[in-house]
Amino acid sequence: MNLSKRWIWIIVALLIVVQVAQFAYVVHRESLTWDEDDHMFAGYEMWKAGDYGLNPEHPPLVKLLATLPLLGEKMWVPTVRQDRDFKTEAYQDGREWLARNDGAGQRLVFRMRMAAGLLAIALSLVVFFATREWFGASAALIALVLVVFEPNILGHSALVTTDVGVTLFFLLSVYAFYRYVKQPSLLRLALAGVAAGLLLATKHSGILLAPMLVLLIAYEVFVAAKGTRGRTALRLSGAFAAVVVIGVVVLWAFYGFRYAARPAGMALTTSLADYVMPLSHFEQTGVMTIAHLHLLPESYLMGLVDVKRMAQFYPTFILGQQIPHGVWWYFPIVITMKTTLGLLGLVLLSFFAILTRKLNKAREVTYILVPWIVYLAVAILSGMNIGSRHILPLYALAAILSGAGVVALSAKSKAWAWVCGVLIAAHVVSALVVFPNDIAYANEAWGGPKNLHNLLSDANVDWGQQLISVKKWQDAHPNEECWFAYFAYPEVDTATYGIRCHHLPTTDTLWQGTYAWGGPEATPPVIHGTVLMSAGDLSGCEWPTGALNPYQNFLGIEPQEYIDDAVFVYRGTFDMKKAAALSRAQLALLSLQAGRMQEALTLAREGVAMDPTVIDAQAALGDAANANGQKDEARTAWTAALNEAKKLEAGAQPAYVPGLEAKLSKL
């Protein structure tokens, strides 16, 4: 492909326009996803109040960028309370802040998302420039096409979350370090350090840059001429130290060079010393030593601890199976499902080109493969198996490698050029077929997006993004009463979008004490009519075992309608006893919190009567009976809950057994 520079830039510009048009359309039709209101409100409070304590589990960069367009707006702001857990505070305040200022129209949400979308544009440009320098303009254009039409990247391109940002800055950091190694200068070293700092300020997984650079330095020393290896090792070790120092300084700048997470007069509701307690002694010592020396901001350290804590209890849903812990093979399987067959084929051909030395640019290939291997290895070992968004950097690197492989093979024969052309076309067509439901993308070999909810869950399929489409469905069925198990409720309130369906209980409907927002409702034991089910709740992906999923009976029923391939519509008569028992258990616990002891006892008894095998119902009855002084009834209920809990698979029992045993021991 011999194009003039003018035509190359025209093609690049057209592809960027196509990219922007795609993600603008996607996010315009999507409701808030699970984490966005939390990120948005936290970013706004960073700008306005200097408060880094509302959302410490994520560094500030994306939140600050996304909320930059709001700084000129006059907005209602809730009073931040210090008596609530920081996650509860951020989610509830963020939800109310957006509902009061934006509502279902999402004018402000769209502006914030488009600001975040600048990172996706920058990612495409870095992919192009890095590939052009490494493998030439033709490879760069191919890589750009692959990225622009990559469903996983597109699905998250303009969401106010960290995944596209971390993909951008990982690639930029590696590319900037490559440019320094190739032609050392103070300017290039400084740019590499700044890129590393932007990465650290985007997501905590940015710390993985350190082992990547160490391995790349080891490679550079290994391939250096024998007489220069010592000098190379010394120079690159010094460069690594400089990158770390500059990167940490940039990170501190995003926290205003202030150690404390919250402004004067405010403190974290849970101190760092308390929050770190569930971790190992070694991890506790490391974090607290860094904190004592003020080497990193308090908010950043809280986030590191949060990442580690969250990975300890996340269940895994894969291949239709619910597993109470992470599994090493999760992401390898996810890659085969969530990657287009065209891109998978191109990556395999690129490895063939490397092995047969048709692609022989060893240094450049190493700068792709080392970050790829490190990132995938850590993802495999992390235990947090909740979505392909956590491995987006692999897709950007795959696009670059594929561009290089296509050019290398096509140069050898026209047959290879045709094969590669077919695979590129297959990639683009597969992406366009699923558009605009890119979050729920699955390739054709696994049955496409309509089958994906049977195989994967969480952000692979359903991140709560469907409420605008659900509202359109409701408007088309104005007289149809419905019950809705919505994956992101109460983090995102369906009523904000004008949805009138009754709420079905989920693992999350009790999380934040949701009476003010409608809360869980008393589900009837039998529903005659219409049930809407989010993919996440249908799969039961947040329960530690599938046996606890109150909607298992829906798994064998074919939905009558699909909404964005992630909300399913069922009509008929349905046995809802387990959901009915769970809803009353949750309502009973909320009544206890509100001091309505007798009401709680009545609700809990109703729940157990509907299905005595529901552990939450028996546990709630024990709590309510104990609070009402009914010790014998409490013992009976807690014992029944414990017996049911001990029937669960071993990995799921810790979610219930220790707590129930502790309650019984206190009677």
Phi then psi for 501, rounded to 5 degrees? Answer: -65, 150
Q: Residues 439-450: what's their mean pLDDT?
A: 96
Contacts of 558 (CB under 8 A, 6+ apart): none
**Higher pLDDT, residue 568 or 35:** 568
Q: CB atoms < 10 A from the CB of 435, how many?
A: 16
Contacts of 661 (CB under 8 A, 6+ apart): 642
Q: What percent of the chain has pLDDT over 70?
A: 98
Q: Residues 603-610: what's their mean pLDDT?
A: 97
Q: Residues 337-348: what's their mean pLDDT?
A: 98
CATH of 581-666, one of 1.10.3720.10, 1.25.40.10, 3.30.70.20, 2.60.120.10: 1.25.40.10
Q: What percent of the chain has pLDDT over 90?
A: 85
Flag whether pLDDT at 563 surpasses 50: yes
**Higher pLDDT, residue 81 or 136:** 136
pLDDT in tens, 472-499: 999 999 999 999 999 998 888 899 999 9
**Higher pLDDT, residue 513 or 623:** 623
Nearest to 489, CA basis, from 531, 517, 468, 450: 517
**Higher pLDDT, residue 533 or 521:** 533
Flag whether pLDDT at 74 surpasses 80: yes
Which H helix or E strand runs over 534? strand 526-534
Q: Which of 89-103, 355-369, 626-640 has the lowest mean pLDDT?
A: 89-103
Q: Are 366 and 213 in contact (CB under 8 A)?
A: no
Nearest-angstrom CA–CA distance, 587 and 579: 12
Flag whether pLDDT at 192 surpasses 70: yes
Phi then psi for 270, rounded to 5 degrees? Answer: -115, 120
Instruction: Find how far residue 12's CA is from the centre of its chain.
Output: 29
Nearest to 108, CA basis, from 60, 76, 79: 76
Q: How confident is the model at residue 508 (pLDDT cuts 50, 70, 90)?
A: confident
Nearest to 394, CA basis, from 541, 205, 247: 205
Angle at 598 between CA 594 and CA 601, to 5 degrees: 95
pLDDT at residue number 518: 52
**Higher pLDDT, residue 386 or 8:** 8
Q: How confident is the model at residue 519 (pLDDT cuts 50, 70, 90)?
A: low
Residue identified by tokens 């064998």 is: 556
Tell me the average pLDDT of the chain: 94
The token duo for 256 is 């205003």
Nearest-angstrom CA–CA distance, 524 and 504: 10
Nearest to 311, CA basis, from 271, 269, 279: 279
Nearest to 419, CA basis, from 346, 311, 334: 346
Pairing of strands 526-534, 502-503: unpaired
Q: Residues 491-512: what's their mean pLDDT?
A: 88
pLDDT at residue number 516: 44
Give DSSP secondary structure letters for 642-662: HHHHTTS-GGGGGGTHHHHHH
Q: Are 108 and 98 in contact (CB under 8 A)?
A: yes
Longest dimension (CA), the chain: 85
Three-class SS state of 530: strand
Q: Are 136 and 128 in contact (CB under 8 A)?
A: no
Q: How confident is the model at residue 383 (pLDDT cuts 50, 70, 90)?
A: confident
Instruction: Find how far residue 582's CA is from the centre of its chain.
Output: 27
Flag whether pLDDT at 1 surpasses 90: no
Flag whether pLDDT at 514 surpasses 70: no
pLDDT at residue number 82: 67
pLDDT at residue number 269: 86
Flag whether pLDDT at 103 surpasses 80: no
- pTM comes to 0.95
Three-class SS state of 500: coil
Residue identified by tokens 């409702």 is: 521
Report the amino acid identity of residue 225: A
Phi then psi for 570, rounded to 5 degrees? Answer: -120, 140
Flag whether pLDDT at 636 surpasses 90: yes
pLDDT at residue number 183: 97
Q: How confident is the model at residue 513 (pLDDT cuts 50, 70, 90)?
A: low
**Higher pLDDT, residue 79 or 397:** 397
Three-class SS state of 248: helix
**Higher pLDDT, residue 314 or 546:** 546
pLDDT at residue number 515: 43
**Is the bond preceding 505 in cis, omega lying within 30 degrees of 0?**
no
The token duo for 426 is 């297959």
Which H helix or E strand runs over 458? none
**Higher pLDDT, residue 16 or 84:** 16
pLDDT at residue number 178: 98
Which H helix or E strand runs over 617? helix 615-627
Phi then psi for 502, rounded to 5 degrees? Answer: -70, 150
Q: Which of 148-157, 260-269, 512-521 has the lowest mean pLDDT?
A: 512-521
pLDDT at residue number 80: 78
Three-class SS state of 563: strand
The token duo for 145 is 């096409």
Q: Residues 162-167: what's their mean pLDDT?
A: 98
Q: How confident is the model at residue 457 (pLDDT cuts 50, 70, 90)?
A: very high
Flag whether pLDDT at 304 surpasses 90: yes
**Higher pLDDT, residue 53 or 88:** 53
Domain ranges of the chain: 5-131+158-254, 464-575, 581-666
Flag whether pLDDT at 263 surpasses 70: yes
Q: How far is CA 312 from CA 112, 305, 457, 548, 573, in A?
A: 32, 11, 19, 20, 39
